[in-house]
Amino acid sequence: MRLLKSISFFILLTVCFSGLAQAQSREVMELKSGWKFTRNADEAAYRSQYDDAGWETVSVPHDWAIYGPFDKEIDKQTVAVTQNNEKVATEKTGRTGSLPYIGQGWYRQKFSIPASGKNKRVILLFEGAMSEPVVYLNDQKVGQWNYGYSYFYFDITSYIKNDGVNVLAVHLNNPDQSSRWYPGAGLYRKVSVIFKNEESIDQWGTTVTTPMATTDLAKVNIRTAVSGENVRLVTEIFDPAGVRVVAGQTDIRFGKEFDQNFLIKDPKLWSPESPNLYYAVSKVYAGNELKDELKTRFGIRQIEYSPSTGFSLNGKTRKFKGVCLHHDLGPLGAAVNVAALRRQMRILKEMGCDAIRSSHNMPSLEQLELADEMGFMFLAESFDEWAKPKVKNGYARFFNADAEKDVVNLVRATKNHPSIIMWSAGNEVPDQHGAEGVKRAKWLQELFHREDPTRPVTVGMDQVKATLQSGFGALLDIPGLNYRTHLYEEAYRVFPQGFILGSETASTVSSRGVYKFPVQKQVEKQYPDNQSSSYDLEYCSWSNLPEDDFVLQDDKPWVIGEFVWTGFDYLGEPTPYDDKWPSRSSYFGINDLAGLPKDRYYLYRSRWNKEKETLHILPHWDWKGREGEVTPIFVYTNYESAELFINGKSMGVQKKNNTSPQHRYRLMWMDVKYEPGTVKVVAYGNDGKVAAEKTISTPGKPYAIKLDPDRRTIQADGEDLSFVTVSIVDKNGNECPQAANQLKFSVKGAGKYRAACNGDATSVEQFHLPTMKVFNGKLVVLVQAGESAGPIELVVTGDKLKEGRIKLSSTASSAINK
């Protein structure tokens, strides 16, 4: 089936409720607390008459490896990374984060069936388990799944005890050399039990499209797969304000599916700027008895990909301003947390980012829900490997047997999110070479089309020459190029689609607050301190600087956007130091591992966020010992020109120009010599008048600890977090950008200390211990809410520093600023 060029559809997101829900017709019980966990135990440990007295008690989502310690011997690999153009094998110590994810783990949970759930159909749903989970219930094997990023479920009706205690056990196995980055370990996403009647909506059984969606009118088609005989379906649709706008019912099924059409006048369309969400209530009746009820959210929007317009959303041409994200959440590891995801996405939104690529894995449902709510277009990716391996024990072991069911579950579980605008069948797969790879690409794309004919499919291609010759790139709906900016023109000429997507771009490397001299472009540059310069001129052998992609976005209408590698640093893959120790996390991030913006953040913000002013100066101005030495100053701004002053003396006016890609997007004073004092930048508008000013000053000695929370009030649900930025300042409140003080943290009241992170890729301090050294004057402390409302106090201390103290609070109300 060929994908329609004009794609309109109506999206829904199934919302699960914990506890009693929806008139007792359906109940969802999240298995969250009270899990027992043990590591590296064999089968006998599970079989020993359920003796788990010595097991750890944990809550799920849970990542057993994030607590460390870091160890260079963990998953040490001696390999040549072909994706990085390496020819000679070298020892890679931090490739998967140097955290203890290798090995086996057992989880055990005991639960009883609520009275309302007895004698019903029971579904056991896993949203992610790392990895190779084997599931047992009441000492019987229920089933297994291999892919650690996949959502999957089992019907456990025949295994369940309606009376008494049920014992659920999950065995996980993470072999060495099974990943190219830190994958996490354990039940790192939610586990739920669903109780429903025989007459009910099938799991992921609802499909919603709109054959037409405009600002005047939307035609809504809802197909609902329902089990049971002699049933009818009633559907009500509510607008973003909660007002019912349309309703309908039917008792006619085509096979198992009901097929309903609705008309919505003057619909509020979904977009990143206006993420309007409707919701529907679907009810299944047998006679007059309500048998099932499901509440869903959805958005209405139209997407189109064409040679003439490139990509358009709701009839308006636009280019993706996207980033790639791995799934780990820094100091939280792989364990999904809504507050941490929301904070990441707020930071990206402020930068002007409007799109996310889940790389190279299936995204969490929580991340997609937030993308729907906050307004991010989403490129949902499936695999990093097909049949040809990248690592010894990667997904290639399972591809031939499992790829179809993994794609099916990905699409069926997530296809109704308005945020998803494209599927990715793979990333930089070695199968790009040869006829077999072309066949696999075609087979996978057809699987996606079979499950969802409304969205296009891409693959992140790095072997562009091979895909030009084989036809691999030509058969894809969207040709995605990873880097290879020098091949964009040729790919555009040869590929028939009429447009190119930058599916992965830049891979510029930098360390927050680190500046190296002399200032010049560097490829694969290494320094004795295992850091990279934040002048943003260093990159990898296969990659490039941000401006190389900016030029393509701005000058080539057929380039439909980019997804920058990466929005945030992530654990593992510490290029260009993956052969050095200590080095255990990436340098690619626009933001560091703690979520603190690097200088590069403001370069992207100056280009992407046109609604707000950007005026950012780098480097810092604390260079004792460099007096009189050349210390270039860069300014990232959305103004076209600015004047630089050092201690009141003008260093001249710089104007963006086409001398080089860097001069086109940055203002650079390359000959400035350092002298302590004040740096001031005055930006000029197009009328030549002063539009904005900014100053930075040389600080005094470190004096005090400053605390700045992202939220002062959090929800008392045992999961919510406040991220508190900790800065070292002098007596005048100026930040000390070279401070490296060791700090200690304590939390009192209705919360607890959860973790800290300083963004230093070379740090081997454990995140969960209540002490850490600041990196270039900053770190972030995570304060976690308890389950009871009340005041919380965070105290941060350091030797010879005035302590930092801040009061937070947790509340039982969900109506808080998130």
CATH of the domain at 483: 3.20.20.80
Evaluate if residue 20 carries a pLDDT over 70. no
**Residue 625: per-residue pLDDT:** 96
Residue with tokens 């024990």: 393
Evaluate if residue 18 carries a pLDDT over 60. no
Mean pLDDT of 615-636: 98
Q: Is the pTM of this model over 0.75?
A: yes
Average pLDDT of the chain, as a whole number:
94
Kindly report, residue by residue over 136-194, the tens digit of the pLDDT: 999 999 999 999 999 999 999 999 999 999 999 999 999 999 999 999 999 999 999 99
**Residue 10: per-residue pLDDT:** 36
Q: Residue 796 domain-assigned? A: yes
Same domain? 281 vs 426: no
Instruction: Count structural domains, the chain.
Output: 5
Q: Residue 763 domain-assigned? A: yes
**Residue 50: per-residue pLDDT:** 62
Q: Residue 94 domain-assigned? A: no
Same domain? 638 vs 525: no
Last residue of a domain, one of 671, 697, 723: 697
Structure tokens at 484: 């290879």
Give dist(CA 688, CA 577) in Å, integer: 45
> Of residues 199, 257, 504, 735, which has the active-site annotation?
504
Same domain? 508 vs 581: yes
> Of residues 199, 257, 428, 451, which has the active-site annotation?
428
Give dist(CA 174, CA 191) in Å, integer: 19
Find how far residue 712's CA is from the centre of its chain. Answer: 24
Same domain? 490 vs 540: yes
**Residue 12: per-residue pLDDT:** 36
Same domain? 464 vs 598: yes
b/e burial code for range 215-248 (CB count within 10 A of at least 16 → b): eeebbbebebbbbbeebbbbbbbbbeeeeebbee
State the pLDDT confidence band at 16, using cuts at 50, 70 and 90.
very low
**Does 350 qualify as catalytic in the annotation?**
no
Q: Residue 82 domain-assigned? A: no
Same domain? 649 vs 783: no
Q: Residue 170 domain-assigned? A: yes
Give dist(CA 228, CA 76) in Å, integer: 53
Evaluate if residue 49 carries a pLDDT over 60. no
Mean pLDDT of 658-682: 98
Give dist(CA 145, CA 667) in Å, integer: 53
Give me the sign of the Cα torsion angle 502, 508, 513, 518: negative
Q: Residue 618 domain-assigned? A: no
Mean pLDDT of 748-763: 98
Last residue of a domain, one of 196, 212, 233: 196
State the pLDDT confidence band at 7, using cuts at 50, 70 and 90.
very low
State the pLDDT confidence band at 364, using cuts at 50, 70 and 90.
very high
Q: Residue 386 domain-assigned? A: yes
Evaluate if residue 291 carries a pLDDT over 80. yes
Q: What is the largest CA-CA distance in the chain?
A: 88
Residue 459, helix vs strand vs coil: strand
Residue 792, helix vs strand vs coil: strand
Same domain? 668 vs 689: yes
Domain that holds residue 673: 623-697
Weakest-pLDDT range from 8-12, 39-43, 426-430, 674-678:
8-12
State the pLDDT confidence band at 24, using cuts at 50, 70 and 90.
low
**Residue 19: per-residue pLDDT:** 34
Evaluate if residue 810 carries a pLDDT over 80. yes
CATH number, domain with residue 642: 2.60.40.10
**Residue 209: per-residue pLDDT:** 84
State the pLDDT confidence band at 806, using cuts at 50, 70 and 90.
very high
Last residue of a domain, one of 697, 722, 737: 697
Same domain? 211 vs 190: no
**Does 436 qualify as catalytic in the annotation?**
no
Same domain? 629 vs 644: yes
Same domain? 768 vs 636: no
Same domain? 717 vs 740: yes
For residues 35 and 108, the answer to whether their CB atoms sit within 8 Å is yes
Same domain? 579 vs 720: no
With residues binned 3-state (H G I as helix, E B as strand, rest as coil), the percentages for the chain, rounded to 5, are: 15, 40, 45
Angle at 411 between CA 405 and CA 416, to 5 degrees: 155
**Residue 48: per-residue pLDDT:** 53
For residues 761 and 584, the answer to whether their CB atoms sit within 8 Å is yes
For 512-550, the DSSP string reads: TT---SS---EES---TTS---TTS-EE-TT---HHHHH
**Residue 78: per-residue pLDDT:** 87
b/e burial code for range 386-418 (CB count within 10 A of at least 16 → b): bbbbbbeebbbbbbeeebeebbbbbbbbbbbbb
CATH number, domain with residue 139: 2.60.120.260
Choose between 781 and 219: higher pLDDT. 781
Q: Residue 78 domain-assigned? A: no
